[in-house]
Chain A
């Protein structure tokens, strides 16, 4: 058995080195790309509705991928809620440290402001819905660590509405545009407004989903006292 283990620990790194070497050779040997996506994006920036190319690609040219991505995020959160057995029926807050509470009190309003700025700035400089949503989620995590926000056991209705809101806004816009023509083909005159609308919904939902990924996993482990508190709130 020990010999078998040694063989595995020798063979796998050697195979890994062979794979790595092959990939390195392939990369160094690569010819120039036949498709010039960069040029295609640059040529169509005028009709995209924003001036920052990454935002244009994310929300306009490849908007369908972003729509599906938000659905995947929601599915992951639902998966976590389905897998975890509830350990407490009432939401659990951590005890807060005074310094952390003060810091959270000062930092969280600033973080909300920064998130708003990132959302607005995404149209013409680096930023956008994902970065803004991440900052909001970080504010949520900070509030939980300071003891102000309880961990999620089973989200109440308004939270569930908030989680699905961004995806629903995006889906509604996509469906309305589908009725007019192709999926997610924004009319160039209104593209900027539509993108801002979709990004606002996405920011709210993404902040809630990302914070939710943390807050659902946050409750402390079950205490070793016979496990009486079983029933989870529906």
Chain B
């Protein structure tokens, strides 16, 4: 039974990663990346790695998400530098 959950979680990981890379909108890509980070937290919990789960939630999803969202604000609509 738990094997089915693990397989579903692995598929969700791959799906959210695929969506991160193929979404047209950059903002949506960053949000999908945060979702991917939270799914990774679940994966670490399933792998009996609570230390990694804590760190992934705080650093991988949280801090990296904050950094990426701030970077979005600095880039233009097409994802390049704003003209100086």
Contacts and interface: CB of A to CB of B under 8 A. Distances in A.
Q: A–B direct touch, CB within 8 Å, in complex?
A: yes
Interface of A: 54-55, 118, 126-128, 130-131, 134-135, 137-138, 141, 210, 213-214, 217-218, 220-222, 227
Interface in B46-84: 50-51, 54-55, 58-59, 62-63, 66-67, 70-71, 73-74, 82, 84
11 contacts: A127-B51, A128-B51, A130-B51, A130-B55, A131-B51, A131-B54, A131-B55, A214-B67, A217-B67, A217-B70, A221-B82
A220 B73 contact: yes
Given A134-B58, A221-B82, A222-B84, A214 B51 contact: no
A56 to B, nearest CB: 12
Given A221-B82, A222-B84, A227-B84, A213 B54 contact: no
B51 A126 contact: yes
B70 A127 contact: no
* Interface class of chain A by DSSP: helix
Contact of B63 (A118, A127, A131, A210): A210
Given A126-B50, A210-B63, A217 B71 contact: yes
B51 A54 contact: yes
Contacts of B62: 134, 138
Nearest to B60: A134
Contacts of A126: 50-51, 54
A210 B84 CA distance: 28
Contacts of A218: 70
The 6 closest A-B pairs by CB, nearest first: A134-B58, A126-B50, A131-B54, A126-B51, A134-B59, A54-B51
Contacts of A128: 51
A214 B58 contact: no
Contacts of B67: 213-214, 217
B18 to A, nearest CB: 12
A90 B2 CA distance: 55
B62 to A, nearest CB: 6
Contacts of B63: 134, 137-138, 141, 210, 213-214
A127 B53 CA distance: 10
B7 to A, nearest CB: 15
A218 B67 CA distance: 8
Contacts of B66: 141, 214
A118 B53 CA distance: 14
A138 B58 contact: yes
A227 B62 CA distance: 33
Contacts of A221: 73-74, 82
